[in-house]
Amino acid sequence: MSNLTIKKIDWQFDGIDFYFNPKQRNFSAFNNMISFMAPGMERYFCKAMKDAEEHITDPRVLDECKDFNRQEMEHSKAHVKHCKALIAKYPGLQEALDASFELYDEHYKAHDLKYHLSYMGGLESAFTPLFGTIINHRDQLFGGSDPRVSSLFLWHYCEEIEHRSSAITVYNHVIGDNRYRMRNVKPMGAHGRMISETLMEIFSRAVPEWDTPDAHLKWADTLPKWTRRMMGLKILASQLPYYPHQAQPLPKYFAEWNRRYEAGEDMRVTYPETPLATAA
Ligand SMILES: [Fe+2]
Ligand SMILES: [Fe+2]
């Protein structure tokens, strides 16, 4: 068995605002972009991992691959629910959800399994420095948020770090060609930028109170310069062959999140402002 745990949470988002953290409008828009991106991207990842299964000869890698998919499917379901709550308030956002599925489906059809696994291995590796930075600066970025929305993102970001080495492990086991994966870093970045810009453009038309152009580039502007620089360097380092993914330190909040979950706290509204009542 893998060490990954599958947590099913009945998220509730009725009546939420687009700018769920009024003090962090760029960061709110950036997270909403992730929410609309996630259903298409995670379905794409799950299809690629399913295709990879028949090429996996190590039972431990196969377990990891299957549990990775189970986690990603839960993320996808949660983000669809979040997107639908936003669509109920801003109907034009349906176009963003449709675009997410269409663009990632096109990408799946346009490339082969080797490419898909290298895309996943690279992108999932970048998530630990990206989401780790967000988790470690949660008071600044999520402080003052609607807890129903910030709790969704913190759950997802914790699980992305929990399964930080799954995709690269499958790539190394099935393909194992470092130079090929490195060559794909640039096109992978270009594809991510294209999706981000597409979603931002739809947001700008669908949300009447929209005032955050380039939020996908500016979301971290309120963080210290040194933090942003270190995050960028770590993202670059995460793409290098032999980078020790599994050895990356987990944010302290990851353990706290799990303690709260094990203690039976309502994780749908765990952050901010919910006291740690029953954890050890
Ligand atoms: Fe995910
Ligand atoms: Fe993931």
Please tell me the distance between residue 208's alpha carbon and the centre of ligand 1 in angstroms: 29
Ligand nearest to C-alpha 170: 2
Give the distance (Å) from ligand 1 centre to CA of residue 37: 10
Nearest to 271 by CA among 153, 161, 163: 153
pLDDT in tens, the chain (280 residues): 788 999 999 999 999 999 999 999 999 999 999 999 999 999 999 999 999 999 999 999 999 999 999 999 999 999 999 999 999 999 999 999 999 999 999 999 999 999 999 999 999 999 999 999 999 999 999 999 999 999 999 999 999 999 999 999 999 999 999 999 999 999 999 999 999 999 999 999 999 999 999 999 999 999 999 999 999 999 999 999 989 888 888 899 999 999 999 999 999 999 997 544 443 3
Ligand at minimal distance from the CA of 71 is 1
Distance 41 CA to ligand 1 centre (A): 9
| Residues at Cβ < 5 Å from ligand 1 ion | 72, 75
Question: Which ligand is in closest contact with the Cα of 166?
Answer: 2
Distance 66 CA to ligand 1 centre (A): 14
Q: What single DSSP character describes residue 18?
A: S
Query: Are 42 and 108 a contacting pair, CB within 8 Å?
Result: no
* Cα separation, 84 vs 165, whole angstroms: 31
Q: Can you tell me the distance from the alpha carbon of 123 to that of 13, in angstroms, rounded to the nearest whole number? A: 28
Q: Is 273 left (phi over 0), alpha (psi -120 to 50) or beta?
A: left
Q: Are 260 and 279 in contact (CB under 8 A)?
A: yes
**Residue boundaries of the structural domains of the chain:** 25-248
Q: Ligand 1 centroid to 280 CA: how many Å?
A: 28
Distance CA 247, CA 222 (A): 29
Cα–Cα distance measured from residue 222 to residue 7, given in angstroms and rounded to the nearest whole number: 32
Give me ligand 1 centre to Cα 43, in Å.
Answer: 10
Instruction: Output DSSP code: residue 85.
Output: H
Residue 280 in tokens: 């050890």
How buried is 114 (Cβ within 10 angstroms: 0-12 exposed, 13-18 middle, 19+ buried)?
middle
Q: Is 257 exposed, middle or buried (0-12, 13-18, 19+ CB in 10 A)?
A: buried
What's the 208 CA to ligand 2 centre distance in angstroms?
Answer: 32
